[in-house]
Amino acid sequence: MLKSLIPALALLVTLPCNAAGGLEYLKEHDRGWFWYEPVEIPQEKAPEPEKKPEPQTSVAPNPYVDPTGAMKAYQKSIEDARNLAILDPSPANVKHYMAVQKEAMNRSGIFADTWRRVLWETPELDESLKSPMGKAGMDVHKNQVRLGKEEAINQLAQTDGIFFFFKKSCPYCHAQAPILKSFAAKYGVSVIPISLDGGGLPEYPVPTPDVGWAERLGVNVTPAMFMVNPRTREIVPMAYGVISEEEIKDRIYTIAMKRVGDI
């Protein structure tokens, strides 16, 4: 490093110094490295770009002074025509109601068609982009949700574990244990098996005895699972009773998202 600096220092020594500037900076010890400032060169101002008027959202002129009142009056006219046709079902009254009803259906169809076309032209208003209804879009959406769950589980596996409360005499605990064991092995989640009757399960033959945690957490049903963060000592109920591996993923994902404020 020192050898590489020697030529640069020699070059600085041999550079000529004019009378106006030169080594004037050497007299300015208090300024330190602030003497090394860029020289300000006056430049001609570039012409400001012409501002284009921002596009405005086009809104159709309102032909009604009171749209809400007009809609109520229109609905009342349909209701009056229907009621009259029911009370006095003469051919003229029924024909009039049928005509009014047909006009209302046409209006509804035009509104629905316009709504659909506006969504096609304005994607930011289309909720189906967030939650697609078509099969291809739904497949992509499901895959994104699956990846989100996988990421949440992998992150929580690094910081959290699971309290698994059970009893040897509980048949539901025997059903839950292999599901939890498989899930924990797949994602590297630490499980603390806690026996409430002192007995073990085939998957957890040497459980941890309960030292008051069941009472503290209000566990009166087995099996019961809690997400536990040993660093923050946060304990969140995850499930009571038997749940599938997919349900375990869903609940861990929900807990993770709630923790970061996404839901």
More confident residue, 19 or 114: 114
Q: Name the residue type at position 107.
A: R
User: By the 8 A CB rule, do 192 and 163 touch?
Assistant: yes
Q: What does the DSSP assignment read for 191-218? A: EEEEESSS---SS-SSPEEPSSHHHHHT
Half-sphere exposure of 47 (CA within 13 A, CB side): 3
Confidence of residue 129 (pLDDT cuts 50, 70, 90): low
Q: Name the residue type at position 220.
A: N
Interval 73-117: pLDDT, tens: 888 999 999 999 999 999 999 999 999 988 998 888 888 878 767
Interval 133-171: pLDDT, tens: 555 556 665 666 667 778 878 887 888 899 999 999 999
**How much is the pLDDT for 262?**
45
Number of C-beta neighbours around residue 105 at 10 A: 10
More confident residue, 224 or 25: 224
**How much is the pLDDT for 126?**
63
**How much is the pLDDT for 12?**
43
